[in-house]
Amino acid sequence: MKRGNEGKRTSGSWFGEGAISCVLGLVCLMGAWIAERSGVSHAIVLTAYAGAYLFAGQAGLREAWKSLREGKLDVDVLMILAAIGAAWIGQPFEGALLLVLFSLSNVLQQHALAKTNRAISKLLDLRPQEAWLLRDGVTSRVAVEDLAPEDLVMVKPGEQVPIDGKVVEGNSGIDESTLTGESMPVSKGPGNEVFAGTMNQSGGLVVRVTRRAGDSALARMARLVEEAQREKSSAQAWLEKAERFYAAGVVGFTILVGLVGWLIIGMNAADAVYRAITVMVVASPCALVISTPATVLSAIGGAAKRGVLIKGGSHLERAAGIEIVALDKTGTLTVGRPSVTAVITSAGASTVDEASAEARQWLCFAAALEARSEHPLAKAVVEAWTEERPEASDFRSVTGKGAEATITGRTFLAGSGRWMTELGASGVEDLRAEVDRHQADGQTCIWLAERVGDGIQVRAALAMADTIRVDAAEVVAGLKKQGIRRVVMLTGDHPDVAEAIGRKTGVDEVLAGLLPEQKLDAIRELKKSGSVLMAGDGVNDAPALAAADIGVAMGAAGTDVAMETADVVLMGDRIGHVVFLIQHARRARRVLKQNLIFAASVIVLLIITTLGFHLPLPLGVIGHEGSTVLVCLNGLRLLWTGGTTP
């Protein structure tokens, strides 16, 4: 009985599929049983039993022979020896029943474990095989594999996106649930990335290809899961090493039981061998060795369906024991880009949505001016004004200070408070208190002023900040409910800004002003207090992610560095999946313990029953193979269920 992804029985066999061989073996067994009680010739009965042995046992015999050639004893060898022994003492029915149930058990395990592979490989089937190529104004259907970077592809409403790319024309909502696990559509427009296998819902899009089909996020996701399933957990690796010693011990114990029964207790040789063979069957560790891969592979597959890629069983095990969580600020606890949080005028501060007509007028002029600027904060101002705006002319940028332009015949300036002071602008003090309050809260303020005659008059100020994710505080609370002892925020940002965000999100500790190498040192220091999970964007956080016990890359659907560096990859951009990861890993650990305890208990119970109460071999076979199937199905539950995401 082979274990795991690399060791599952090959479905093909000498006489076709394993399931077909199992059925043929069962038919021969039933035929032999009926023939034996119908008084037909002994030769026909033996032929029927031989057919049962041949069909049901041929796969096990091949695996047993392979193991013996490698100098190993495993459960395949034990089962074949037990079946041969039963036939040798004149109990071919018991031996054939053993092989049929052993074959059935393997077929069921193979079917169950294959579901974890099919759940992921189906994602690749979701990707269209053809795409609408747009070239020189003409569209044509081409194979997705023929598309190259820089090609333009049309995606019509209701169609699936055929390949990774960036939108160059059109707006639409995209259902990315197949990739990220998120149920809500994501708005896409020019400049936004789209991914193969996702569903275009409402509007037509023109997409510029950025990756070939084989390098798409969907294809990389499938490859990662396949690699993860090949990586054994420490428990599985230990069990597989222990199996050969255990199997040798079973053989030795079987011989001892037979000799004691025959030479000491005085049983006849056939009865002593019968009991010894029963012991060999019930003591075989099938359920033990299958319980770990069944659980781990199902857990990895179940997490992948939620957009959480765990890159191996060892990472899943470590995630279950996390005590400290370190979260990067920018792009993890926050959305990763600034936005206008308040418009400040002499009348006070208000949000963009609640701003007065006067405040909205100044915001409109600021957006018109900043539309010509390349400053990092300019985009936030432009995005804050969603209505039509006038065009700016005579634009002039003043390096390190601000910019100036003419709008509807009036000259406006936007820049820092220091620049306004240097220019001797009036009205600065009217806004100073409110601006200072926002800056103390970690926000950045841009001042808007107008040239009036020979002077400059301040009109408004715009407060901006990298806004906190709406679920950030809930996620931190969720981590603490999971028993996480410390939640630490790591950032290279200014301490005042970091402390303000730390207070709002509820983290236990804030480490600010850190360079990438200092984040690495912080992770090493945290590891002295317990097992550490680090979540970041996978680019500038790469050293810290690699140093943590578990590195989690956020929003990595299109990030090569994150795919390579982190132990766990969140395909979506939702921090709540960190809570799900820990919940899911701990649930997998509980299921694994259940399986191991159950499997070991059944083995002990069956051995005691065999030695003390003369358990018949058929019942021993049913108990042994039944426990194997049960632990496999119990582990398989993780493929469909998991924790909740805040």
* Residue carrying structure tokens 């011989």: 255
DSSP state letters, 43-55: HHHHHHHHHHHHH
Any idea how long the chain is?
646
End-to-end alpha carbon distance in the chain: 41
With beta carbons less than 8 A apart as the criterion, state whether 427 and 458 touch. Answer: yes
Q: How many of the other CB atoms lie within 10 Å of CB of 531?
A: 18
Sheet holding 324-328, edge to edge: 308-310, 568-570, 550-553, 532-536, 324-328, 486-490, 509-511
- Residue 200 has which token pair? 């275009």
Backbone angles phi, psi at 150, to 5 degrees: 85, -10
Q: Measured between alpha carbons, how far is 64 from 73 in angstroms, rounded to an integer?
A: 8
Nearest partner of 369 among 336, 397, 329, judged by Cα = 397
- Residue 379 has which token pair? 């985009």
Pairing relation of β-strands 186-188 and 172-175?
antiparallel
Residue at 523: amino acid letter: I
- Residue 410 has which token pair? 């009036």
- 76 assigned to active site: no
Q: How many of the other CB atoms lie within 10 Å of CB of 233?
A: 25
Backbone angles phi, psi at 124, to 5 degrees: -70, -30
Residue 11 burial class via C-beta count within 10 angstroms: exposed 0-12, middle 13-18, buried 19 and up = middle
**Cross-strand bridge partners of residue 154:** 132, 206
* Residue carrying structure tokens 């950045």: 444
> How far lies 240's CA from each of 7, 283, 286, 369, 631, in Å?
11, 16, 11, 68, 17
Of 74, 164, 175, 328, the active-site residue reads 328
User: What is the sign of the dihedral through the CA atoms of 466, 471, 477 and 480?
Assistant: negative
Q: Measured between alpha carbons, how far is 443 from 359 in angstroms, rounded to an integer?
A: 19
With beta carbons less than 8 A apart as the criterion, state whether 169 and 162 touch. Answer: no
With beta carbons less than 8 A apart as the criterion, state whether 411 and 395 touch. Answer: no
12-44 as b/e: b if 16+ CB within 10 A? ebeeeebbebbbbbbebbebbbebbeeeeeeee
With beta carbons less than 8 A apart as the criterion, state whether 55 and 45 touch. Answer: no
Q: Measured between alpha carbons, how far is 604 from 608 in angstroms, rounded to an integer?
A: 6
Q: Measured between alpha carbons, how far is 464 from 466 in angstroms, rounded to an integer?
A: 7
DSSP state letters, 577-599: HHHHHHHHHHHHHHHHHHHHHHH
Q: Measured between alpha carbons, how far is 60 from 76 in angstroms, rounded to an integer?
A: 6
With beta carbons less than 8 A apart as the criterion, state whether 341 and 464 touch. Answer: yes
Residue at 343: amino acid letter: V
SS3 411: strand
> How far lies 431's CA from each of 57, 261, 487, in Å?
87, 98, 37
Residue at 214: amino acid letter: G
Angle at CA of residue 636, ends 635 and 642, nearest 5°: 90
SS3 181: coil
**Which residues are known catalytic residues?**
328
